[in-house]
Structure 1
Amino acid sequence: MSSPVARPSDYESFPYMRRGIDFPAVELSDPRHRRSGFAAALDEEQVARVERLLADNVVISFHDHPQLFPADQSDVSAFLRTTREFTAFTELRRSGLTAIFDNWFGVIGSSTPSGWQWDDLITTLGMRLADLAHQDGVVVAHTVRDILDAKRDGRLAFVMGTESVGPIGTELDRIDVLYGLGIRQMGLVYATANTLGSGQKDPKDEGLTAFGRRAVRRMNALGVLIDVSHAGDRTSLEAIEASSKPVAITHAGARGVWPIARMKPDEVLRACAERGGVLGLEAAPHTTVSYDHRTHTIESVMDHFTYAVDLMGIEHVAFGPDTLYGDHVGFHHAISGQLGLTPTDVAYDRVAHVDGLENPSENFRNITGWLVEHGYSDSEIQAVLGGNILRLLNEVWR
Structure 2
Amino acid sequence: MTEKQFDGYEAYDYLVADEDYRTVELPEMHAGFEPHEVELTAEQEQRVEEVNEETIISLHEHPFYFPKDVHEDLWDYIREGRIHAAYEDLSKAPLDAVFDFHLDGLSGIHSKHGWKWDDIVSDVAMRAADQAHSDYAIRCGDVDDIHRANEEGKLAFVPALESAAMVENELDRIDLLYGMGIRLMGVTYNASNSIGTGQGDIYERDGGLTSFGVDAVHRMNDVGMAVSTSHSSPQTTLDVCEVSEKPVFDTHALAQTGGMNQRGSSDEALQALADTGGVIGVLSSTHLPDIETYMEHFEYMVDLVGIDHVVFGPDVLYGDHTALLEVLATFHGVELPDSTMENPYVKGLENPTEAWQNIPRWLVKEDYSDDDIRKVLGGNILRALDEVW
- 1:379 partnered with 2:371: yes
Aligned to 2:329: 336
Structure whose residues are more often helix by fraction: 2
In structure 2, the CA distance between the partners of 1:380 and 1:101, relative to structure 1 (3 Å rule), is same
Distance in 2 (CA, whole Å) between partners of 1:113 and 1:154 is 38
Structure 1 residues 182-201: aligned runs within 5 Å: 182-201=181-200
Question: How far, CA to CA, are the matches of 1:313 and 1:94 in structure 2?
Answer: 31
Task: Name which of 302, 306, 316 aligns with 2:299.
Answer: 306
Gaps of at least 5 residues in structure 1 are: 1-9, 290-295
Distance 1:34 1:135, change over 3 A: farther
Q: Distance in 1 between matches of 2:94 and 2:263?
A: 28
Q: In the alignment, what sits opposite 2:280?
A: 279
Residue in 2 that maps onto 1:318: 311
2:120 match? 121
Q: Which residue of 1 aligns with 2:356?
A: 364
Offset, 1:30: 0.9
TM-score where L is the length of structure 2 = 0.92
Letter in 1 for 2:183: R
- Residue 60 (structure 2) pairs with residue 63 (structure 1): yes
Which of 124-133 and 326-335 deviates more? 326-335
- Per the alignment, residue 38 of structure 1 pairs with 36
CA–CA distance in 2 between the matches of 1:310 and 1:38? 27
TM-score by length of 1: 0.90
Code of the residue aligned with 1:227 in structure 2: it is: S
Q: Percent of aligned pairs with the same residue?
A: 42
Query: Cα distance, 1:66 vs. partner?
Result: 1.0
Deviation at 1:260, TM superposition (A): 4.3
Q: Hey, which bits of structure 1, 4+ residues long, moved more than 6 A? A: 341-345
User: 1:39 deviation in Å?
Assistant: 2.9
Contact 1:59 1:386 in 2 (8 A): yes
Root-mean-square deviation (Å): 2.0
Q: Give the CA deviation at 1:84.
A: 1.1
- Sort the Cα spacing of 1:94 and 1:100 in 2 relative to 1 into closer, same or farther, 3 A: same
Q: 1:223 to 1:342 in 2, by over 3 A?
A: farther
How do 1:164-183 and structure 2 match up within 5 A?
164-183=163-182
Deviations along 1:39-74, one digit per CA (max 9) or x if unpaired, are 3232101011112201x2000000111111111112
1:126-275 matched pairs, under 5 angstroms:
126-204=125-203, 205-275=206-276
Letter in 2 for 1:76: L
Gap runs ≥5 in structure 2: 1-7
Q: Give the Cα separation in 2 of the matches to 1:81 and 1:370.
A: 39
> d(CA) in 1 for partners of 2:277 and 2:337?
31
Q: Distance in 2 between matches of 1:154 and 1:360?
A: 17
Distance 2:222 2:342 in 1: 44
Counterpart code for 1:208: L
Q: Determine if the alignment matches structure 1 residue 94 to structure 2 residue 92.
A: yes
Q: What does residue 109 of structure 1 align with?
A: 107
Contact 1:253 1:282 in 2 (8 A): yes
1:114–1:37 CA distance, 2 compared to 1 (3 A) = closer
Rounded Cα–Cα distance in structure 1 between residues aligned with 2:274 and 2:384: 11
Q: Is the 8 A contact 1:201 1:261 kept in 2?
A: no
Structure 1 Cα separation of the partners of residues 79 and 330 of structure 2: 16
The separation in 2 between residues aligned to 1:143 and 1:32, in whole angstroms, is 33
User: CA, structure 1 residues 135+32, in 2 after alignment: closer, same or farther (shift >3 Å)?
Assistant: farther
Q: In the alignment, is the contact (CA less than 8 A) between 1:77 and 1:109 conserved in 2?
A: no
* Cα distance in 1, alignment partners of residues 59 and 261 from structure 2: 21
Is residue 282–residue 312 contact of structure 2 (8 Å, CA) maintained in 1?
Answer: yes
Q: SS of the residue aligned with 1:158?
A: strand
For 1:342 and 1:63, locate their aligned partners in 2 and report how far apart those are by CA, in whole Å. 25
Partner Cα distance (1:233, 1:112) in 2: 29
